[in-house]
């Protein structure tokens, strides 16, 4: 036994840890064949005679282990590592649904199913679904210009455009009689919690083509939209009292999802490209255990970040991934705006729309910021995709991509909660994507949707630029609500309002310099220590008043405080207030009108400043006059007072 133990620890065949340490020094990895297995068997039998009866099995297992470890040198993707230590007690306690476990047997040819309490499809009141759907080229082709210089070519292009963008009819029968797997009898029946097979296969093929996961054994599972996915994931990997990392301004639903579970957000600083990797590492490296366990989960919206509109690039993603690998942090990549990535908005005197390149095939995909899945070789990313922003939010349908461990645990959770997404949604989306558009048609549709939202983004930014960069001081009629308006972007003044032109998503992030208001309580910097003493609420109450005035003017924006991960975020901003403006659903005319009303209501801030100065001046003049008169009377009394 002593010899065996020494050899198992010292031998590269018997010690996987030693293999990992030595792997970096191997210059030419070898593939261990069956003959190598025989040598391994002889080695094991010599060193451990009592286990000779199972040497072939041990040798084969060891050879497979070595080959797997060398796979990365030969271009083969690695498999996900064991992440079971991240599972919550609830997730670990979930068991297979006994009724769901017999489901596969129902599809054995000749099987007479008397097991499940399945309603008979004949009694479904829907005999078929029929719908008129747009072409996958409905929006992409509209951007292709026709050249008037060649009438024949223009006629041909216009004809081609009309044909390619024409609507089409789809029909989904109750029974397809074997012609197609897409039928109502199956879609509207009880099913497996992972989703309908044909839609599941479509999104898995799409994930492989577009997101390109960096490890081999990733998998997908359908979900009832992003909110459902986030709720299940947090329950799976967090315990009460845990903390999770997020951008300092983040999607409020993520915070509210974790709140009743006792899971608290920890803000990480951002810049124009999103979350900052060095700030992320600072939080993790300097974590105070008095705040609870160090966060093991990062929640992020990397593209068209809600609310700031930022999009994280390839290099930054790699940096964030390295930090998460180093500190063993899972990444929840909530990415509903992934295909709404846009070129930079060009501010110019000629308000011409931003051009979006109509790249062909997969070349357009290659221009997009990559998913974290491309950098994840361990299986620590849980990516959430949704059809809400690119088909319809009412579909309540999406999918999660992650390692087999997490997908299996999510499956167990779905079996006893939501089960599979609505059959109505799955069958309509499945028919459209699988049989009507296909993979390439789906990509064309996404390109067109991106083009349309880019136009809306441009309209919103142009309206803001026009309103807050007037060339002269403007005056409007006096009244109860407003009686004066002054340019806030004059050259001799700092801007009262600034905005961030987004490069993705559906929102413009506007900043108001509320610190100019005379009632704002500014922070104090200690000259000796350099520490900042935060006073007041950071202008939150003043921003609430401004928001209410906008409501009165029939303009609805979302206050920035709704997105702050905690109260410290706004206090540390030095009097900057924020609004989120959505450009996704309003017409160009409504957008311009809303921005004009927004601009007029900002005089509340400026007028309060002038009223304050006027009040102070009046106060000073009043008391100065009293003092002057008093001195005059004293002087007179002194002069005319009899003496001696």
DSSP category for residue 215: S
CA distance 67 to 413: 35
Name which of 196-205, 273-282, 573-582 the model is least confident about. 573-582
Q: Does residue 469 carry a pLDDT above 50?
A: yes
Q: Does residue 42 carry a pLDDT above 80?
A: no
* Max Cα–Cα distance, the chain, nearest Å: 136
CA distance 509 to 498: 9
Give 295-354 pLDDT, tens digit per residue.
999 999 999 999 999 999 999 999 999 999 999 999 999 999 999 999 988 875 544 556
Q: For residue 520, what pLDDT band results from cuts at 50, 70 and 90? A: low
Other residues' Cβ atoms within 10 Å of the Cβ of residue 558: 16
CATH of domain 455-611: 3.90.1150.10
Domain locations in the chain as residue ranges: 2-74, 455-611
CA distance 450 to 502: 13
Sequence-distant (≥ 6) Cβ neighbours of residue 528 within 8 angstroms? none
Sequence-distant (≥ 6) Cβ neighbours of residue 164 within 8 angstroms? 135, 137, 141
- Name the pairing type of β-strands 532-533 and 524-525: antiparallel
CA distance 70 to 94: 35
Q: Does residue 461 carry a pLDDT above 70?
A: yes
CA distance 388 to 429: 11
Which pLDDT value is given to residue 533?
54
Give Cα separations from 552 to 463, 556, 558, 601 (angstroms): 21, 9, 14, 10
Q: What is the pTM of this model?
A: 0.77
CA distance 238 to 286: 21
Question: Percent of the chain scored above 90 by pLDDT?
Answer: 55
C-alpha closest to that of 218 among 365, 373, 322: 373
Partners of 509 in the β-ladder: 500, 580
> For residue 517, how many C-alpha atoms fall within 13 Å in the half-sphere facing its CB?
23
Please answer whether residues 604 and 518 qualify as being in contact, where contact means their C-beta atoms are separated by less than 8 angstroms: no
CA distance 306 to 189: 37
Phi, psi angle pair for 456, to nearest 5°: -65, -40
Sequence-distant (≥ 6) Cβ neighbours of residue 166 within 8 angstroms? 135
DSSP category for residue 433: I
339, with CB counted inside 10 A (0-12, 13-18, 19+), is buried
Residue corresponding to tokens 């979350």: 275
CA distance 319 to 304: 19
Q: Does residue 263 carry a pLDDT above 90?
A: yes
More confident residue, 552 or 1: 552
CA distance 17 to 15: 5
Give 172-219 pLDDT, tens digit per residue.
999 998 889 999 999 999 999 999 999 999 999 999 999 999 999 999
| Token pair recorded at residue 636 | 């007179």
Within 364-505, strands assigned E span 381-386, 398-402, 497-500
Q: For residue 143, what pLDDT band results from cuts at 50, 70 and 90? A: very low
Please answer whether residues 273 and 312 qualify as being in contact, where contact means their C-beta atoms are separated by less than 8 angstroms: yes
C-alpha closest to that of 219 among 409, 414, 75: 409
- Name the pairing type of β-strands 524-525 and 330-334: unpaired
Other residues' Cβ atoms within 10 Å of the Cβ of residue 371: 24
CA distance 440 to 4: 58
Q: Taking the C-alpha atoms of 449, 455, 457 and 459 in order, what is their torsion angle to the nearest 10 degrees? A: -150
Give 386-404 pLDDT, tens digit per residue.
999 999 999 999 999 999 9
Please answer whether residues 512 and 464 qualify as being in contact, where contact means their C-beta atoms are separated by less than 8 angstroms: no
C-alpha closest to that of 364 among 374, 372, 356, 376: 356
Residue corresponding to tokens 């007690």: 89
> For residue 471, how many C-alpha atoms fall within 13 Å in the half-sphere facing its CB?
1
């Amino acid at each position: 036994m002593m010899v065996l133990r020494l050899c198992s620890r010292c031998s590269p065949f018997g010690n996987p840890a030693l293999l990992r340490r030595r792997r970096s020094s191997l210059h030419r990895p070898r593939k261990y064949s069956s003959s190598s297995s025989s040598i391994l068997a002889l080695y094991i039998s010599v060193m451990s005679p009592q286990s000779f009866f199972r040497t072939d099995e041990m040798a084969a297992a060891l050879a497979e282990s070595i080959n797997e470890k060398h796979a990365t040198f030969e271009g083969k993707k690695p498999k996900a590592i064991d992440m079971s230590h991240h599972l919550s007690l609830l997730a670990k306690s979930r068991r297979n649904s006994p009724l769901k476990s017999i489901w596969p047997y129902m599809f054995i040819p000749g099987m007479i199913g008397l097991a499940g309490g399945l309603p008979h499809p004949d009694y479904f009141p829907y005999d078929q679904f029929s719908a008129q759907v747009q072409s996958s080229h409905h929006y992409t082709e509209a951007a292709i210009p026709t050249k008037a210089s060649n009438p024949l070519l223009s006629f041909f292009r216009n004809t081609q455009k009309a044909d390619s963008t024409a609507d089409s009819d789809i029909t989904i029968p109750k029974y397809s009689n074997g012609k197609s797997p897409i039928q109502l009898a199956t879609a509207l029946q009880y099913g497996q919690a992972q989703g309908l097979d044909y839609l599941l296969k479509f999104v898995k093929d799409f994930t492989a083509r577009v997101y390109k996961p960096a490890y081999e054994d990733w998998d997908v599972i359908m979900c009832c939209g992003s909110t459902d996915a986030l709720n299940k994931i947090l329950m799976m990997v967090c315990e009460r009292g845990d903390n999770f990392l997020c951008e300092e301004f983040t999607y409020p639903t993520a915070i509210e999802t974790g709140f009743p579970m006792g899971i608290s957000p920890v803000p990480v600083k951002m810049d124009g490209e999103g979350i900052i990797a060095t700030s992320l590492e600072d939080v993790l490296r300097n974590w105070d255990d008095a705040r609870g366990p160090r966060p093991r989960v990062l929640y992020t919206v990397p593209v068209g970040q809600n609310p700031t509109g930022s999009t994280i690039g390839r290099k930054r993603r790699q940096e964030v991934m390295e930090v998460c690998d180093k500190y063993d942090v899972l990444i929840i990549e909530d990415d509903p705006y992934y295909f709404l990535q846009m070129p930079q908005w060009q501010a110019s005197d000629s308000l011409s729309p931003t051009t979006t390149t109509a790249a062909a095939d997969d070349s357009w995909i290659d221009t997009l910021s990559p998913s974290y899945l491309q950098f994840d070789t361990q299986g620590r990313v849980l990516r959430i995709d949704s059809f809400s922003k690119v088909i319809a939010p009412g579909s309540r349908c999406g999918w999660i991509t992650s390692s087999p461990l997490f997908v299996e645990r999510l499956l167990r959770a779905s079996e006893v909660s939501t089960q599979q997404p609505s059959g109505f949604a799955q069958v309509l989306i499945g028919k459209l994507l699988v049989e009507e558009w296909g993979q390439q048609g789906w990509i064309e549709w996404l390109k067109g949707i991106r083009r349309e939202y880019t136009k809306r983004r441009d309209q919103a930014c142009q309206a803001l630029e026009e309103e807050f960069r007037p060339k002269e001081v403007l005056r409007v009629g006096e009244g109860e609500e407003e009686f004066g308006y002054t340019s806030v972007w004059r050259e001799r003044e700092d801007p009262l309002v600034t905005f961030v032109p987004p490069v993705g998503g559906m929102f413009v992030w506007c900043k108001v310099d509320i610190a100019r208001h005379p009632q704002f309580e500014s922070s104090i910097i200690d000259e000796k220590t350099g520490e900042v003493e935060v006073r007041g609420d950071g202008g939150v109450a003043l921003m609430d008043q401004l928001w209410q005035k906008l409501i009165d003017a029939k303009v609805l924006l979302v206050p920035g405080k709704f997105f702050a991960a905690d109260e410290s975020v706004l206090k540390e901003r030095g009097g900057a207030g924020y609004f989120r403006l959505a450009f996704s659903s309003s017409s160009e005319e409504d957008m311009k009108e809303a921005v004009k009303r927004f601009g007029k209501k900002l005089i509340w801030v400026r007028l309060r400043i002038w009223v304050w100065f006027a009040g102070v001046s009046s106060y000073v003049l009043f008391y100065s006059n009293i003092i002057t008169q008093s001195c005059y009377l004293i002087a007179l009394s002194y002069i005319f007072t009899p003496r001696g």
